[in-house]
Amino acid sequence: MVMGGELGSIVSDLSELVSEGLGTSSLASGIPSSARVLRADAGGPVELREIACSIEPQCVWSLSEDLRMVARPLGKVVRAGVANVLRVHLASGRQIELSRDQEFRTVTGWIPVRKLEIGQRLAIPRYIPEPTRGSQLADAEIILLAHMIGDGSCVKRQPIRYASIDEQNLAAVTSAATHFGVTAIRDEYPAARCITLRLPAPYRLGHGKRNPIAAWLDELGLFGLRSYEKFVPEVIFGLGNDQVALFLRHLWATDGSVRWDEKGNQGRVYYASTSRRLVDDVAMLLLRLGVHGRIKRVRKADYRDCWFLTIDGVQNQTQFLSVAGVHGARGEAARRVLGELLSLAPNTNVDTIPKEIWVRVREILASQGVTYRAFAAAMNTKFCGSTLWKHSVSRSRLAKVAEVLDDDGLRVLATSDVFWDRVVDIVSAGIREVFTCSVLGAHNLVVDGVVVRKIGQ
């Protein structure tokens, strides 16, 4: 929410722009104040305007020269004014707004937003390390939080409830509630084919005394939220990977799905929510486990938009189901899917290196005096003329190319922490309040899930 003083500054800036005909020379440059920057110390995404108000030193995740995610100190964050920004949509469903002079990382270097074209591929994190200043929660708190986000109700002036048809989920919530001294009360509704657990306070409520679960959810910012308003609290991002996996295991047991598609001979793994922020948060958490998710909006008349976070591909699904898995009845389906996946060869046509890398390969071949035919023989592949250069290359194949040519630059690309996402649309997003910020030692940071920097840094 924009505060009174900030709103006055924005109105003043907009009035000045209108009086000058919105000339580009009057526009500021930077990152929108509502953009979320990925912190390395606490682990989670935080709005830029919130960081600007903080006096604490903070670290952010940044992409190093060898394409690894590294923690770097965040320098000054300064309000720059207002800017005309572009919204870039990626194939993974991620989207980011930036002024025209910010830059994205491509496989051949940095490119300004204003020169971006549909079809180009940009660097986004493929993996996020554990936070540098990690925290820990009781497992019971993590389990209860996951289930309350998924199937819980904590609306003001109403009893705290949890609803499920899965007996293992009901047992997990019943057990976790005892951590707060709460004894769950079971209500069965045969007509609704659903069982509800009421989670009452273990003492008489009065002035200054609240239900301990309600007070806890309030501290996390979740109390009173509707399903479409929910999000993953910051404390979860600060956990180690084992506890992140525990959270995801129980969250998937609520609004997640895992099944085997016999006709397509593939797994179907997704999480669904009417909260875009929640889905974005879960996608970020998946990166902690090295799992890439794709976000898709599904619209239905007279209903709120629903967001699906899908985990595609043999390798991706295997990683998720092996490291996190799913609790409850869905866990049985998950184990079956994992068994099927282990018998399949990985599909390598998604997590690839852009075809532009072949330009560099041809330069290396020329410098070493190696013919294309000799190169094909060394790669143990059939010589096919220029066809090879027209397609993206898998990580494993590029690793073999790097070995054949003994090139460290290609090795870096084959093993990097980067997923190369494809631009599918670029639209004007209008005028936004923007900030500028500096990152010490690397000059780039992760904004709304995408690696960016200011031009010239």
Query: What pLDDT tens digit does each residue of the chain (457 aa) get?
Result: 444 444 444 444 444 443 333 444 456 789 999 999 999 999 999 999 999 998 889 999 999 999 999 999 999 999 999 999 999 999 999 999 999 989 999 999 999 999 999 999 999 999 999 999 989 999 999 999 999 999 999 988 889 999 999 999 999 999 999 999 999 999 998 777 889 999 999 998 877 789 999 999 999 999 999 999 999 999 999 999 999 999 999 999 999 999 999 999 999 999 999 999 999 999 999 999 999 999 999 999 889 999 999 999 999 999 999 999 999 999 999 999 999 999 998 877 789 999 999 999 999 999 999 999 999 999 998 878 778 888 999 999 999 999 999 999 999 999 999 999 999 999 999 999 999 999 998 889 999 999 999 876 5
Same domain? 5 vs 118: yes
Task: Write the CATH number for 108.
Answer: 2.170.16.10
Please say whether the beta carbons of 71 and 417 come within 8 A.
no
In a domain, 23, yes or no: yes
Please say whether the beta carbons of 83 and 414 come within 8 A.
no
In a domain, 16, yes or no: yes
Same domain? 23 vs 120: yes
Q: What is the pLDDT of residue 347?
A: 78
Same domain? 220 vs 246: no
Chosen domain end from 306, 341, 376: 341
Q: What is the pLDDT of residue 19?
A: 38
Task: Write the CATH number for 200.
Answer: 3.10.28.10
Q: What is the pLDDT of residue 12?
A: 47
Same domain? 5 vs 114: yes
Return the ∠ at Cα 397 (arms to 395 and 398), rounded to 5°. Answer: 65
**What is the token pair recorded at 80?**
């720059």
Same domain? 31 vs 114: yes
Domain extent for 223:
139-229
- Burial of residue 145 (number of CB atoms within 10 Å: 0-12, 13-18, 19+): buried
Q: What is the pLDDT of residue 457?
A: 59
Same domain? 69 vs 24: yes
In a domain, 173, yes or no: yes
In a domain, 366, yes or no: yes
Same domain? 155 vs 250: no
Chosen domain end from 341, 363, 398: 341
Helices (H), 256-356: 276-288, 314-323, 329-341
Q: Quick one: residue 349, left, alpha or beta (phi over 0 = left, psi -120 to 50 = alpha)?
A: alpha
Same domain? 396 vs 361: yes
Same domain? 209 vs 274: no
Instruction: Provide Rg for the chain, Cα atoms.
Output: 25
Same domain? 1 vs 122: yes
In a domain, 131, yes or no: no
- Burial of residue 300 (number of CB atoms within 10 Å: 0-12, 13-18, 19+): exposed
Number of domains within the chain: 3
pTM for the full predicted model: 0.91
Q: What is the pLDDT of residue 343?
A: 93
Q: What is the pLDDT of residue 345?
A: 86
Same domain? 11 vs 59: yes
In a domain, 132, yes or no: no
Please say whether the beta carbons of 417 and 69 come within 8 A.
yes
In a domain, 134, yes or no: no
Q: What is the pLDDT of residue 24?
A: 41
Per-residue exposure over 62-77, b if at least 16 CB sit within 10 Å of its own CB, e if not:
bbeeebebbbbbbbeb
Same domain? 331 vs 360: no
Chosen domain end from 289, 311, 341: 341
In a domain, 323, yes or no: yes
